[in-house]
A and B are shown apart, each in its own frame.
Chain A
């Protein structure tokens, strides 16, 4: 059984295995990086450390976050470095057994499918598992 930190993106539930996640934070002030790839949403000061932020909405080629929705920061450790992921809303930590696992559904669009390693069929909805390493590059 694996534990996942879950979050919403464009009304879809995504999950990242807890071992990746360092912390979940309210949004910090971000510094723009002109000429950077569009998926990079700036740099934040995380207790003195400069951390890159990736907006998962742009990464997954979703429409921009509607006005009034303040993104949350999920800080993950990838390759020994923290990277902050912007999500719409943070959910619960969910445990899922292997028997609910399924490969990525065919109905996903290509951009999403490239970043999703699989899905868990939860009781009420589908939990898409995010490929963290790929998402931050």
Chain B
């Protein structure tokens, strides 16, 4: 990267930070309109951007910030009071600046971002309430004159220094111009140290940096400058006095400027009450900006003492921080990881050794490496404030547009988590906040009617708990009615009535996170497009966290995000299978159940070849890791009960080895695409272990939604009544169609593009054979199946022949009571029945299959389907 690009990049990084600060300050200012500290901070920020953009030749940006600055000057000088239109216009100014910066970042050019609108808006505000003394009109003129004046000042200032005995030649004149220029570049670049505390413009940063050593060596500038000030006191020519004495000249220091230019203010003791020549209100502020490129050293030498004096109100903490490239930290992290592994080896050698010295050295190494690892981890941690800082603005804008009154409280800003996680949490959190404002908190009238204060409270809270970070978004709004949520889930076909009947309040609330769910009665531009909550959930689960929601109707709602401290280190359970070790993330682990291997019947039962386990009266579907991985292994001894994708299932394992905190190493996309592994890790003994992707395993190994499968399985085991039969209920083109479960071999997903055509019939390759497809919709004369990239297929088998019936949805597995059948039939059907309160059609399986494969039954002597159909009839 060449140097100028580097400068621009640093400028962008710095400006983005400044803009975030600006957003915060502006919103804070609205509630505290008179705050001089906030106004100064805002002014400095805009001023810095303006100064640097001038330096970098970004003229449009300079114009926008210039206009903003002149409005801010009026505010700061008390000629105008902060009100909502002003805030709005300043916020939109911030947005415009951000847009330009984005354009610079992307294209390297300022682009065509519309700046005229915002300039006009600012000018309209200014014209709308012209300052009492007409200062705004004066500004440009004054600025122009001051610019020259300031320029002269520099020369004179330097001149003055050359003749000043107090400063040595080396300190002052000799080194100034060069250093100043270098430092100006450095300041524009925003190198490492944030010197915001010593105030606004780049030229001022320069000053600080250049001056630092000097002021250290020369402790007297302060008294030195004060004396002449008193002497020159009565003069009405600030520029002149500046030329004589750099310190009081200080046209650039906003602090002193504000003191100077507000005639009504009691003059600050030393900053030139004399100078506050009422005739020149605009001088101090416009001068520094205008003179930016030309006068890097203008206030330079004298600035430091003043800056020190001003410091108290600034952001001094930033002086102690440096900016480090994340790549460097990542590299450090890797190296520490290697060190830890080397340490583990040494420890192992030491353990077997009788040499006391080696043992002691190994222990020492152990300790140091551990601390180092912790330290390096810390460097990647950032306070959650980085994400929250945007929230006041988000809440304010939304609340304004929706007519809500909301106060935002943020507790635990300092809670730290890994940088990469912070990034990942940003969008979900913003979404939750928007949701709370839009759906949670009621309008003021509604609130008062409900006996609550008109102003709603939105609380963001972050804290550490159990090795995780909890982030809560809580509102005191109307709350969520669990019953309503459940009813809505049924209406949208996301859940059946029966499932809802069995659900707890908590379960019902969790339905908010179902894909395609949205409780908003009308869609607003804020939320309620039905893409929200499930995306929040997905994103949080991607980083190994989870989301819970709690709500009390009328009292409020709390959404709680549980986020791991860091992505890089993960607590896992290491398990053995087929001679290799695998890591199972503990976040997915619910409990471990030991199987009694000694017993003949280990407790595993089979329902239609699907293994299940009775766990405290509930049937837990089981997945065998051996089958999943396709390896050879001994009989399983342990069930790990896992929770993923909203399902609970048991993973059959050879044995559990250990719990271990592992460092996650990425694996290549080729291995990820296998769909079983989330990553790899190096265990304490140096062996590589694969991390199982529990979500993916749940997705691929459990076909039917567990809740319904669970029902079905309980029924399968518990009911053996002759008058009823198990049927699989599927959805086809809006119909509910039932078919006998006994002959269903499997349920499969097949990619649409895997469908091939043979002799006019559609087929797919399935387990090495050709599986003819039967579109049930066509057979029943219903609407064709929904288009998607995957077909859902019910595989029916007879001997070694199979046929795949394409359906829209698998709805349920139910008991069909033969006595309720009616013979209202239609083509392809043998009748209908009432299943869980809904009329369901019974499929004539034989007829349907013959339509797909006329020779299906030819080879088999008996006709098993005839019996089945008969049973239903």
Q: How far is the CB of A114 from chain B (nearest CB, A)?
A: 18
A72 contacts B by Cβ under 8 Å: no
B681: chain A residues within 8 A (beta carbon): 50
CB distance from B693 to the nearest CB of A (A): 12
Judging by beta carbons under 8 Å apart, are B629 and A45 in contact? no
Given A33-B671, A36-B674, is A47 in contact with B690 using a C-beta cutoff of 8 Å? no
- Given contacts A34-B631, A36-B674, A81-B668, whether A48 and B688 have CB atoms under 8 Å apart is no
A43 and B629 contact, Cβ closer than 8 Å, known pairs A36-B674, A37-B670, A52-B671: no
Choice from A31, A40, A52 contacting B689 with Cβ under 8 Å: A31
Q: Is A32 an interface residue (CB 8 A)?
A: yes
Chain B residues near A99 (CB-CB < 8 A): none
CA gap between A66 and B688 in the complex, in Å? 26
Centre residue among A30, A48, A49 by max chain B CB count within 10 A = A48
Q: Are A34 and B630 CB-contacts (below 8 A) given A43-B680, A43-B688, A44-B688?
A: yes
Whole-angstrom CA separation of A36 from B631 in the bound complex? 12
Q: Is A134 an interface residue (CB 8 A)?
A: no
Q: Is B613 an interface residue (CB 8 A)?
A: no
Judge if A29 is at the interface, Cβ distance under 8 Å: yes
Measured CA separation A52–B674 after assembly (Å) = 14
Total of A-B residue pairs, C-beta within 8 Å = 64
- Residue from B341, B580, B665 in contact with A32 in the complex, judged by beta carbons closer than 8 Å: B580
State whether A33 touches B677 (Cβ < 8 A): yes
Which one, A31, A32, A35, contacts B674 given CB within 8 A? A35
A42 to B677, CA, bound (A): 13
> How far does the Cβ of A53 sit from chain B's closest Cβ, in whole Å?
10
Q: Which residues of B458-484 have CB atoms within 8 Å of chain A's CB atoms?
A: none
Interface size on B, residues (CB 8 A): 26
B338 touches A48 (CB 8 A): yes
The 8 A CB mask of A74-114 against B (1 = contact, 0 = none) is 00000001000000000000000000000000000000000
Q: How far is the CB of A137 from chain B (nearest CB, A)?
A: 8
Q: In whole angstroms, how far apart are the Cα atoms of A52 and B680 in the complex?
A: 11
Candidates B337, B341, B665, B674; contact of A33 at CB < 8 Å: B674
Closest beta carbon of chain A to B389's beta carbon, Å:
34
Given contacts A34-B631, A36-B674, A52-B671, contact A47 B338 (CB under 8 A): yes
Would you give the shortest CB distance from B364 to chain A, in whole angstroms? 21
Known: A48-B682, A49-B665. A33 touches B690 (CB 8 A): yes
Kindly report which residue of chain A lies nearest to residue B625, judged by CB atoms. A34
Measured CB to CB, the nearest residue on chain A to B663 is A48
> Is B866's CB within 8 Å of the partner chain A?
no
A43 close to B690 (CB less than 8 A): yes
Chain B positions 656-680 with a Cβ under 8 Å from a chain A Cβ = 665, 667-668, 670-671, 674, 676-677, 680
Enumerate A106-132 residues with CB–CB distance to B below 8 Å. Answer: none
Given contact pairs A31-B690, A32-B580, A48 touches B334 in the complex (Cβ within 8 A): yes
Nearest neighbor of B686 in chain A, beta-carbon distance: A45
Within 8 Å by CB of B688, from A37, A45, A137, lies A45
A71 to B581, CA, bound (A): 23
Query: Measured between alpha carbons, how far is A42 from B688 in the docked complex, in Å?
Result: 9
Q: For chain B residues 633-672, which have a beta carbon within 8 Å of chain A?
A: 665, 667-668, 670-671
- Contact (Cβ within 8 A) A45 B674: no
- In the complex, A42→B689 CA distance in Å? 10
When C-beta atoms are compared, the residue in chain B nearest to A48 turns out to be B338
B 426-450 to A, binary, CB cutoff 8 A, 1 in contact else 0: 0000000000000000000000000
When C-beta atoms are compared, the residue in chain B nearest to A83 turns out to be B668
**Residues on the B chain within 8 Å of A34, using CB:** 578, 580, 629-631, 676
A33-70 residues with Cβ-Cβ distance < 8 A to B are: 33-37, 40, 42-45, 47-50, 52
Q: With A and B bound together, what is the CA distance between A1 and B89 in angstroms?
A: 68
Interface centre among A31, A36, A47, A50 (most CB of B within 10 A): A50
Expressed in whole angstroms, the minimum distance between the Cβ of B749 and any Cβ of chain A is 17
B114–chain A nearest beta-carbon distance, Å:
41
Residues from 16 to 32 in A contacting B, C-beta threshold 8 Å: 29-32
Cα–Cα distance between A48 and B629 once the two chains are bound (Å): 25
Which range contains the number of A residues in contact with the other chain? Answer: 20 to 34
Tell whether B687 is near chain A: CB-to-CB under 8 Å: yes
> What residues of chain A lie closer than 8 Å to B689, measured between beta carbons?
31
Query: In this complex, what residue of A is CB-closest to B341?
Result: A48
Q: Which of B78-94 contact A (CB under 8 A)?
A: none
Bound-complex Cα distance A43 to B578 (A)? 16
Known A43-B680, A50-B680; judge A31-B631 contact (CB<8 A). Answer: no
A51 to B648, CA, bound (A): 33
Residues of chain A within 8 A (CB-CB) of B630 are 34-35
In this complex, what residue of A is CB-closest to B681?
Answer: A50
> How far apart are the CA atoms of A14 and B341 in the complex, in Å?
35
Distance in angstroms between the alpha carbons of A47 and B671 in the assembled complex? 21
- Smallest Cβ distance from B630 to chain A, in angstroms? 6
- Of the candidates B581, B631, B674, B688, the one whose C-beta lies within 8 Å of that of A50 is B688
> How near does chain B come to A31, taking the closest CB pair, in angstroms?
4
Q: Is there contact, CB below 8 Å, between B674 and A29? A: no
Which of A29, A31, A35, A50 is in CB contact (< 8 Å) with B676? Answer: A35
| C-alpha gap A36/B341 in the complex (Å) | 27
Set of chain A residues within 8 Å of B578, measured between Cβ atoms: 34
B contact residues around A52 at 8 Å (CB): 667-668, 670-671
Residues of B within 8 A of A29 (CB): 687
B671-A48 in contact (CB<8A)? no
Q: For the complex formed, measure the closest distance between the CB of A73 and the CB atoms of chain B, giving whole angstroms.
A: 14
Q: Which residues of B contact A31 (CB under 8 A)?
A: 580-581, 680, 687-690
| Minimal beta-carbon separation of A100 from chain B (angstroms) | 35
- State the CA gap A29–B578 with chains docked (Å): 16
List of A residues within 8 angstroms of B580 by Cβ = 31-32, 34
Q: Which of B630, B631, B665 has the most CB of A within 10 A?
A: B665
- State A69–B303 Cα separation when bound (angstroms): 76
Closest to A51 in B: B688
Q: Which residues of B contact A137 (CB under 8 A)?
A: 670
Give the shortest distance, in Å, between B722 (CB) and chain A (any CB): 44
- List the B residue with the shortest CB-CB distance to A44: B688
In Å, the complex CA distance between A102 and B581 comes to 47
Q: A34's closest neighbor in chain B, by CB? A: B629
A47 — which chain B residues lie within 8 A by C-beta? 338, 341
Cβ–Cβ contact B690 & A40, under 8 A: no
B679 (CB) vs chain A CBs: closest residue: A50
> Closest approach, in angstroms, between the C-beta of A43 and any C-beta of chain B?
4
Could you say which of B338, B629, B681, B682 has the most chain A C-beta atoms within 10 Å of its C-beta? B682
Residues of chain A contacted by B687 (CB below 8 angstroms): 29, 31, 45
Q: How far is the CA of A48 from the CA of B670 in the complex (A)?
A: 21
Contacts of B184-226 to chain A: CB distance below 8 A: none
Nearest chain-A residue to B340 (Cβ)?
A48
Contact B337 A48 (CB under 8 A): yes
Bound complex: CA A29 to CA B581 (Å): 13
How far is it, in angstroms, between the C-alpha of A31 and the C-alpha of B574 when the chains are bound?
14
Report chain B residues within 8 Å CB of A48.
334, 337-338, 341, 682
Complex Cα gap A81–B337 (Å): 18
Residues of B within 8 A of A81 (CB): 668
Residues of chain A within 8 A of B334, CB atoms compared: 48-49
**A-chain residues with CB within 8 Å of residue B581 when the two chains form the complex:** 31
Can you name 23 A-B pairs with beta carbons within 8 Å? Answer: A31-B687, A31-B688, A32-B580, A33-B674, A33-B677, A33-B690, A34-B580, A34-B629, A35-B630, A36-B670, A36-B671, A40-B671, A43-B690, A44-B688, A45-B682, A45-B686, A48-B334, A48-B682, A49-B334, A49-B665, A50-B682, A52-B668, A137-B670
A→B interface (CB under 8 Å): 29-37, 40, 42-45, 47-50, 52, 81, 137
In the A-B complex, the 10 residue pairs with the smallest Cβ-Cβ separation, listed nearest first, are A48-B338, A34-B629, A31-B688, A50-B665, A50-B680, A43-B688, A48-B341, A45-B688, A45-B682, A35-B674
B residues near A (Cβ < 8 Å) are 334, 337-338, 341, 578, 580-581, 629-631, 665, 667-668, 670-671, 674, 676-677, 680-682, 686-690
Additional A-B contact list (6), CB under 8 Å, known A34-B631, A48-B341: A31-B580, A45-B687, A48-B337, A49-B334, A50-B682, A137-B670
